[in-house]
Amino acid sequence: MNKSVVFKIDGVEVTATPGQTIMEAADEAGIYIPRLCDVEGLDPQGSCRLCTVKVNGRSVSSCTQPVVDGSEVENNTLEIQCYRRDLVRMLFHEGNHLCPICEASGNCELQAMGYRLGISKATKFPYLQPVRPVDASHPDILLDTNRCIHCGRCIRASASVDGKHVFGYIGRGIHRRVGVNAENLAKTDALLEDKAIASETCPVGCIIQKRNGFCTPVGKREFDHEPIGSSIENS
């Protein structure tokens, strides 16, 4: 029995296989739903809430929510885009994001999301300017938690792909940050080759590969010319 699920995203009919998440089905249909904590190859965590959509009027995170036959999903509406804008803004305010000096600039998913959502208006939130540690102990890897957005992608990659559990959360609430399972990064068994360290895992400039920075000229970086999500929309 090969039943498919048919539902609508912003009025467009999408056919999915049962058990797929809304995000997976949307990706296949060429509809981009903004996301930060989700990335291909890792189990969804459902924590950033950027992928929030409304299903029959109720807000859900599309990276974790399975498709439902006959449902009406709202994605690209003004209301939802406003929520997403606020979420991205808050991430900027919660850490120390100095794009002009950041090695991830141009390739950073948070920054790219700011561009895509058109965030350029005066802000209503305070900059928290937290004091957060930088761990440069490892010969090849640098961990700058000033830029961490707590997406947990490094944690999941290290646990499920590398089988090493190098990264984990420390602390709670606003003080939560990503830490390592030893005194510092140098004392862990983290290696440059790990999935957790791969450039596509950390969406921002928090996990940095040393001696590799600013190597792509402006104009050739990932999000210089096309908004994040374009590869899905153009597929």
Interface positions with other proteins (CB under 8 A): 92, 96-102, 105-106, 111, 114-115, 118, 120-123, 126-127, 129-133, 146, 224-227
Binding partner at 63 among ligand FES, other proteins, ligand SF4, none, C-beta below 5 to 8 Å by kind: ligand FES
Residues 52-81 that bind ligand FES (CB under 6 A): 61, 63
For position 119 contacting ligand SF4 by CB under 6 A, the verdict is no
For position 108 contacting ligand SF4 by CB under 6 A, the verdict is yes
For position 149 contacting ligand SF4 by CB under 6 A, the verdict is yes
For position 184 contacting ligand FES by CB under 6 A, the verdict is no
Binding partner at 35 among ligand FES, ligand SF4, other proteins, none, C-beta below 5 to 8 Å by kind: ligand FES
Contact, 91 vs 119, CB < 8 A? Answer: no
For position 88 contacting ligand SF4 by CB under 6 A, the verdict is no
The Cα 198–Cα 39 span in angstroms is 12
The Cα 24–Cα 62 span in angstroms is 9
What is the closest distance, in whole angstroms, from the C-beta atom of residue 152 to ligand SF4 in the complex? Answer: 5
Tokens 């004091």 label which residue? 131
The Cα 194–Cα 202 span in angstroms is 12
Nearest one of 27, 176, 21, 155 to 95, comparing CA atoms? 176
Q: Are strands 72-74 and 5-9 parallel, antiparallel or unpaired?
A: parallel
How many Cβ atoms sit within 10 Å of the Cβ of residue 42?
20
Toward other proteins, which CB reaches closer, 92 or 167?
92
Considering only the C-alpha atoms of the chain, give the largest distance between any 2 of them, rounded to a whole number of Å.
56
Rounded to 5 degrees, what are φ and ψ at 60? -140, 160
The token pair that represents 30 in the structure block: 């060429």
Considering only 151, 159, 180, 185, the residue that binds ligand SF4 (CB under 6 A) is 151
The token pair that represents 119 in the structure block: 């965030």
Toward ligand SF4, which CB reaches closer, 83 or 115?
115
Binding partner at 133 among ligand SF4, ligand FES, other proteins, none, C-beta below 5 to 8 Å by kind: other proteins
State the first-to-last Cα distance of the chain, in angstroms, to the nearest integer.
29
Q: Give the footprint of ligand FES on this chain (CB under 6 A).
A: 35-38, 46-51, 61, 63
| Residues near ligand SF4 (CB under 6 A) | 97-100, 102, 104-105, 108, 110-111, 147-154, 178, 201-207
